[in-house]
Amino acid sequence: MSRSAVFLDRDGTINEEVDYLYRPQDLVFLPGVAAAIRRLNEAGLLVVVVTNQSGVARGYYAEADVCRLHQVMADQLARQGARIDAFYYCPHHPEKGNPPYVGPCSCRKGAPGMLMQAATDLGIDLTSSFMVGDKWVDVEAGRAAGASSLLVLTGHGRKTKDALGEDFEGVPVCDNLSDAVDRILGPSC
């Protein structure tokens, strides 16, 4: 049985943008995020984080650091009644870094690899699912997977919007994750 999901970018969408975030003490959730995720949970949607983590390829931190941060995120959100159903991350960079993490891959957003893997693992119907992020690569990944994409203006979102001008190709633009959830669950943001 297929389920619908909301795929969330991590940095700049769920938490404050911090270059190469891996230390739990540097994690700061954006306002309203826990309540927005809780609303998705209550609506019966899976919530899946998909995040590019090229800091692994670059040698700034290890995959274990990414996993540890994700556990801290999950624990802190759970204390506020919100649940992340799964975390997926891409440790690669196409040009910079150390083997085996440097080179092309199918998981780095704008490619749909993480979404496709989650769909297989969790029984997700991508055509009834959503991708929410603050960069155009998030939008591209969602579209490539067959999901509907939304751009939020937190994190790099305003810079992304300014770079695109008026050419959003029909992608809804929302102020933040709470507004995106409003759009997904009901009225326009």
pLDDT tens by residue, 115-132:
999 999 999 999 999 999
Other Cβ atoms within 10 Å of 74 Cβ, number: 17
Mark 137-175 as b/e (b = at least 16 C-beta within 10 Å): bbbbbbbbbebbbbbbbbbbbeebbeeeeeeeeebbbbe
Catalytic residue (choose from 9, 85, 134, 138)? 9
pLDDT of residue 165: 79
pLDDT of residue 170: 85
- Single out the residue of 154, 152, 158 nearest to residue 183, CA to CA: 152
- Asked if 9 is an active-site residue, the reply is yes
pTM exceeding the 0.75 threshold for the entire prediction: yes
At residue 141, does pLDDT exceed 50? yes
Parallel/antiparallel/unpaired status of strands 173-174 and 5-8: unpaired
Q: Name the CATH topology of 5-164+173-185.
A: Rossmann fold (3.40.50)
**What rounded mean pLDDT belongs to the chain?**
95
pLDDT of residue 164: 84
Quote the CA–CA distance of 131 and 148 in Å, as a whole number: 6
- Asked if 75 is an active-site residue, the reply is no
Catalytic residue (choose from 11, 85, 138, 179)? 11
Mean pLDDT of 138-160: 97
